[in-house]
Structures are given as C-alpha cells and as structure tokens.
Amino acid sequence: LSAVAEVMEGAGPVSAVAAEMRELEHAMGDPERADEMDAIIERYGELQHRFEELDGYALDGRAREVLDGLGFSQEMMDGDVSKLSGGWKMRVALARILLMRPD
C-alpha cells in the first residue's frame, strides 16, 4: 500500500470502498479475467459513485495534505509504506490519527 492508502485505511467506510476499487483496478489489468470484465467495470462504476458520495476524493486530498505537513515528498506518499524506515512509518500512523480527528 502507498502511504496515502495506508492513512486512508482508518477512515471508516470510505477506506473499504477504496480498497475494493484498488482490487478491481488490478483485476481490470488481468488478461485472465477478461471474461469477467463487464461485471468488474460495472462494479467499479458503482464503487466510484459510492466513493464520491462518501467524499473520498476530498479525503485523498486531506490525507496528502497531512502527509505533506509531516514532511513527506510526493514520491514518498505514493511509494510503498513497507519500504519506509520506522520513523517514517510512525509518521504514517500519526497522519492516520490526524485524519480521523481533524479538529
């Protein structure tokens, strides 16, 4: 997962929708699932609508804003969390808390 995705994980229902969208994005790129493509695309459209209803795109922006405030570069935000040092992983955890409690 990217740092942004990890931070959004704690954001309730929107994180579950985002996770399923990521799975379907991988499925769309899998040639072995070509026979399921219509159903995959239909489900993705439903999820995209739900993601918008839950203000998911704004959440992504807020997650990036919090990470930026904690010193993350764009590359670090989009890179794999598992490749970060312990200190940066702690900042990801902090960003997750800050995103859940914006006040």
- CA–CA distance, 84 with 90 (Å, rounded to integer): 10
| Closest-CA residue to 80 (of 20, 3, 28, 11) | 3
pLDDT of residue 99: 87
Residue 30 pLDDT greater than 90, yes or no: yes
Q: What is the pLDDT of residue 75?
A: 97
Given a cut of 70, is residue 103 above it in pLDDT? no
Q: In this structure, what DSSP letter does residue 2 have?
A: B
What is the maximum alpha-carbon separation in the chain? Answer: 47
- Predicted confidence (pLDDT) at residue 27 exceeds the cutoff of 70: yes
Q: Which whole number is the average pLDDT over 14-27? A: 91
The two tokens of residue 91 are 């900042």
25 against 1, higher pLDDT: 25
**How do residues 50-81 score in pLDDT, each as one tens digit?**
999 998 889 889 999 999 999 999 999 999 99
